[in-house]
Amino acid sequence: MVEIPAGEFTLGFDPTSALIPFMSDKTAGLNAQPKQILSLKSFYIDRYETTYEDFIKFKPLAKYSTQVPNEPVRGVSWFEADSYCQTIGKRLPTEFEWEKAARGPDSRLFVWGNEFNKEYANFSKKVTSTTEKNQDQSKYGVWGMNGNVSEWTSSWYLPYPGSTHKDPNFGKKFKVTRGGSFSKREHGFMKEFAMIPYRNISPPNTRFWDTGFRCALSE
């Protein structure tokens, strides 16, 4: 695991920034505002996403979309991810913890900086090993947060502190998933979906072909 130090970080999007192209409530512009400074206690987060090899020890009779030992497990519901983390004495990260671990202390939009480069993370049509080396490493040394698979967090989909945005999906109906994923090269809004502050939502009892998870731990 990697220790993320206590202190402040930047949460959310600034809609007036020239670094951010077209955004809307459909592409995370409104639900990830207002941009603000938050302070978190120190915590630990897994350096890599949970692999199939790790997860199958927890659920040996399960069948998932990969059986390659060092690939991130995917097609796992939020309940399965949460149970796995708790079984090994950890927990899922909150979406704020996830964003801080990915974004670092300097408000970057991608783990490597503010300019998008589709070659820096896995946006191909195939999942890769959790340890494949590219530029998808956060300033804190956490791998695979911008591409490869999206990740479950512990957080319900709720408005940010100070937000005036109204969304009928707010409440304890959907969990927030974070991070871009493979097979999105042709998507019209790939840059937006790959940005660290982007918030996606999913029903906790569903499984997705491009979503996995990693665990966290309080100090």
Other residues' Cβ atoms within 10 Å of the Cβ of residue 186: 8
Is 18 a residue whose pLDDT tops 90?
no
Model's pTM, two decimal places?
0.93
Give the model's pLDDT for residue 23. 58
Is 185 a residue whose pLDDT tops 70?
no
In Å, what is the CA distance from 11 to each residue of 139, 142, 160, 195? 16, 18, 9, 12
Residue the block writes with tokens 């783990």: 111
Instruction: Give the H/E segment covering residue 201.
Output: strand 200-202
The correct answer on CATH 3.40.640.10 for the domain covering 1-219 is no
Domain ranges of the chain: 1-219
pLDDT digits (tens, 9 = 90+) for 79-117: 999 999 999 999 999 999 999 999 998 889 999 999 989
- Work out the pLDDT band at 194, boundaries 50, 70, 90: confident
